[in-house]
Amino acid sequence: MHTHAFQDSNLTVTPVLVASSDEKDLPCYSYLCVPKQMRGKFIPKKALDLGCQPAQHFKILNEGNPVTLPDGTIVYPFQVSEDQVPSQAVVLMFLPNENYVENLLTPAKLLEFAELRPDQIDT
């Protein structure tokens, strides 16, 4: 269950519900913290080789937006940039007692953390 994520320009924090194996315990949340994905460095030579003009297109491409050239060709930022810097994530696991460990460490719950993306979050 993913609800009410916090997101700003640098970080997304998503709560993930964790149940206890003991029905008497209340569920608790752990949190997945994902920093902003950093774009790769803009490479002007690649943009020039594709027909882009510095004064008209470089700023747009460098901001992460595609440009359309006069001949209709679309140049995308990934074509004129280094590979993106891989982001890392931090998981804050809250386990009030040992009854939560079994449910948190199931393959399904770990996969839920691994596959969670900011565009899948209800904000």
List own/partner pairs for 60-68 with CB under 8 A and 24 or more apart: 64/39
Q: What is the distance between the alpha carbons of residues 9 and 37, in angstroms, rounded to a whole number?
A: 10
Cβ atoms of 75 and 69 within 8 Å: the answer is yes
Q: What is the distance between the alpha carbons of residues 65 and 67, in angstroms, rounded to a whole number?
A: 7
Tens-digit pLDDT profile for the chain (123 aa)?
Answer: 445 778 888 888 888 888 888 888 888 888 888 887 777 899 999 999 999 999 999 999 988 899 999 999 999 998 999 987 766 778 888 888 888 887 777 777 777 766 665 444 433
Q: What is the distance between the alpha carbons of residues 70 and 114, in angstroms, rounded to a whole number?
A: 42
Q: How do 90-92 and 28-35 pair as beta strands?
A: antiparallel
Nearest to 76 by CA among 92, 53, 60, 88: 60
**Cα separation values, 103 from 30, 51, 98, 106, Å:** 12, 55, 10, 6
Structure tokens at 5: 């994520």
